[in-house]
């Protein structure tokens, strides 16, 4: 990489000639995964050193905070001495106090909600800010379980049958229960339930706030196992070690099992590396590369699979995994600092998204006549 494209790390400053070399880290956000996002963001901030740290509150406000903050500082909201800033979706603006706060690129640590579903990515695109992780369209696809499954199936990648759950009088799907019922949008197993029959699935739609935007229903393979790995796309496409999360007492691998019992870290309730035969491992590696291509993934993502008797299905993708999936990079080992800096290097080497106005030369406007005439 040319030296002019490399990311450097300096003490926070608001002098424009120096601040352009300072990366940003964003975390928090109006999401169910707000707290875990803070923990990821602080890990990245501490590992990288000199960064501009931006906290997105549950209420949607932005604050510049001390990058050396600790988790306890955020229990009641923004830490003391946090400085409120704005995020302006206008080219050349971005993060603004009295004037724009230039950043070289942003490490996006916002899990779930608008930080992961393409909303925040779209704002960064409009402001001309480089950022880590997939772009706006790929982020939206990864958050939509139905659209993601449909895209995988259309590309010929194996995935379980998946139907939308949108109406309380909906007829049963063309496969038998038990069913696994998931919110259509969201991550980290939040709101996911295993139900024995269709009436219970409909009751979830009527009674759970997680299903306000609909859900997806799949056949539940009780004796299958979860297998997952991380990918990173810089400096080349690489696959991490594979893990097999352990489902405590059967059921699904829940959000509480993943994080809440382990102080916000990914739990030790897993087999890492997973014990798996070479043929199945090779199949999963091939599928992971296919998912990267079809979904347009970038940065560090985690891809989840289901396996049963050597058959493998693509399940989901997590485009901003907890702790950036750092614990999965064990062979060869990659330190958190190396992983996070490579993400920044990738963002810096990419061009900000551009928008074309080719064809908008006024011809249609000059020949349009009156709007009243069109309404008539």
State yes or no: pLDDT of 335 exceeds 80: yes
Domain CATH number, residue 94? 3.40.50.20
Q: What residue has token string 């990079």?
A: 329
CB count within 10 Å of CB 103 equals 23
Residue 275: inside a domain, yes or no? Answer: no
Question: Which of 5 and 243 is assigned the larger pLDDT?
Answer: 243
Q: Are residues 109 and 191 in the same domain?
A: no
User: Angle at Cα 31 formed by Cα 260 and Cα 342, nearest 5°?
Assistant: 80
Task: Return the DSSP state at 280.
Answer: H
> If you average pLDDT over residues 57-75, what whole number do you get?
98
Name the pLDDT band for 186 (thresholds 50, 70, 90).
confident
State yes or no: pLDDT of 10 exceeds 70: no
Cα dihedral across residues 115, 119, 121, 126: positive or negative = negative
> What is the rounded distance in angstroms from the CA atom of residue 94 to the CA atom of residue 25?
13
State yes or no: pLDDT of 189 exceeds 80: no
Task: Tell me the pLDDT tens digit for each residue of 262-319.
Answer: 445 555 678 999 999 999 999 999 999 999 999 999 999 999 999 999 999 999 999 9
Q: Are residues 41 and 112 in the same domain?
A: yes
Average pLDDT of the chain to the nearest whole number: 90
Q: Are residues 169 and 108 in the same domain?
A: no
Domain CATH number, residue 167? 3.30.1490
Residue where a domain stops, chosen among 113, 133, 153: 133
Residue where a domain stops, chosen among 115, 133, 151: 133
Residue 45: inside a domain, yes or no? Answer: yes
Spatial contact of 152 and 291, defined as CB atoms under 8 Å apart: yes
Name the pLDDT band for 14 (thresholds 50, 70, 90).
very low
Residue 265: inside a domain, yes or no? Answer: no
Strands 52-56 and 24-28: parallel
Q: Are residues 17 and 112 in the same domain?
A: yes
State yes or no: pLDDT of 8 exceeds 80: no
Residue 353: inside a domain, yes or no? Answer: no
Cα–Cα separations (whole angstroms), residue 345 to 8, 9, 37, 97, 339: 9, 12, 21, 26, 10
Cα–Cα separations (whole angstroms), residue 260 to 76, 135, 268: 18, 29, 12
> What is the rounded distance in angstroms from the CA atom of residue 102 to the CA atom of residue 80?
23
Residue 88: inside a domain, yes or no? Answer: yes
Residue 114: inside a domain, yes or no? Answer: yes
Q: Are residues 39 and 98 in the same domain?
A: yes
Residue where a domain stops, chosen among 220, 252, 268: 220
The pLDDT value given to residue 11:
32
State yes or no: pLDDT of 178 exceeds 80: yes
Q: Are residues 165 and 128 in the same domain?
A: no
Task: Tell me the pLDDT tens digit for each residue of 39-53.
Answer: 999 999 999 999 999
Task: Tell me the pLDDT tens digit for each residue of 111-163.
Answer: 999 999 999 999 999 999 999 999 999 999 999 999 999 999 999 999 999 99
pTM beyond cutoff 0.85 = yes
Q: Are residues 95 and 200 in the same domain?
A: no
Name the pLDDT band for 259 (thresholds 50, 70, 90).
very low
Q: Are residues 86 and 201 in the same domain?
A: no
First-to-last alpha carbon distance for the chain, in angstroms, is 59
Q: What is the total count of domains within the chain?
A: 2
Spatial contact of 45 and 32, defined as CB atoms under 8 Å apart: no
Name the pLDDT band for 18 (thresholds 50, 70, 90).
very low
Residue 60: inside a domain, yes or no? Answer: yes
Q: Are residues 71 and 10 in the same domain?
A: yes
The pLDDT value given to residue 269:
77
Residue 229: inside a domain, yes or no? Answer: no
Q: Are residues 121 and 174 in the same domain?
A: no
Q: Which domain holds residue 25?
A: 3-133
DSSP track, 247-315: -TTSS---HHHHTGGGTTSPPS-EESS----HHHHHHHHHHHHHHHHHHT--SEEEEEEEEETTEEEEE
State yes or no: pLDDT of 76 exceeds 60: yes
């Amino acid at each position: 990489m040319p030296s002019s494209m490399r990311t450097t790390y300096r003490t926070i400053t608001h002098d424009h000639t120096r601040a352009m070399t300072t990366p940003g880290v964003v975390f928090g956000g109006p999401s169910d995964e707000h707290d875990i996002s803070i923990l990821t963001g602080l890990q990245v901030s501490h590992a990288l050193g000199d960064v501009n740290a931006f906290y997105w509150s549950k209420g949607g406000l932005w604050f510049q905070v001390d990058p050396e903050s600790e988790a306890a500082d955020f229990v009641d909201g923004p830490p003391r001495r946090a400085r409120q800033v704005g995020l302006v979706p206008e080219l050349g603006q971005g993060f603004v106090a009295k004037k724009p706060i230039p950043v070289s690129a942003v490490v996006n640590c916002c899990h779930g909600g608008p930080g992961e579903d393409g909303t925040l990515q779209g704002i960064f695109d409009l402001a001309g800010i480089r950022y880590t992780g997939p772009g706006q369209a790929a982020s939206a696809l990864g958050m939509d379980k139905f659209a993601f499954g449909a895209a995988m199936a259309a590309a010929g990648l194996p995935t379980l049958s998946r139907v939308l759950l949108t109406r309380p009088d909906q007829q049963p799907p063309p496969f038998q229960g038990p069913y696994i019922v998931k919110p259509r949008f969201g991550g980290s197993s939040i709101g996911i339930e295993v139900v024995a029959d269709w009436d219970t699935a409909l009751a979830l739609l009527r009674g759970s706030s997680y299903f306000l935007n609909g859900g997806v229903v799949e056949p539940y393979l009780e004796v299958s196992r979860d297998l997952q790995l991380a990918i990173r796309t810089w400096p080349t496409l690489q696959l991490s070690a594979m893990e097999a999360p352990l489902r405590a007492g059967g059921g699904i691998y829940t959000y509480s099992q993943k994080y809440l019992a382990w102080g916000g870290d990914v739990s030790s309730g897993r087999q890492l590396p997973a014990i798996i035969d070479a043929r199945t491992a090779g199949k999963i590696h091939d599928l992971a590369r296919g998912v990267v291509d079809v979904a347009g993934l970038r940065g560090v993502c985690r891809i989840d699979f289901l396996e049963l008797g050597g058959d493998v299905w693509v399940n989901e993708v997590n485009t901003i995994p907890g702790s950036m999936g750092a614990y999965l990079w064990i062979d060869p080992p990659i330190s958190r600092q190396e992983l996070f800096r490579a993400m920044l290097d990738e963002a810096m080497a990419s061009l900000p998204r551009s928008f074309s106005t080719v064809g908008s030369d006024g011809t249609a406007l000059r020949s349009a006549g009156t709007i009243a005439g069109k309404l008539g």
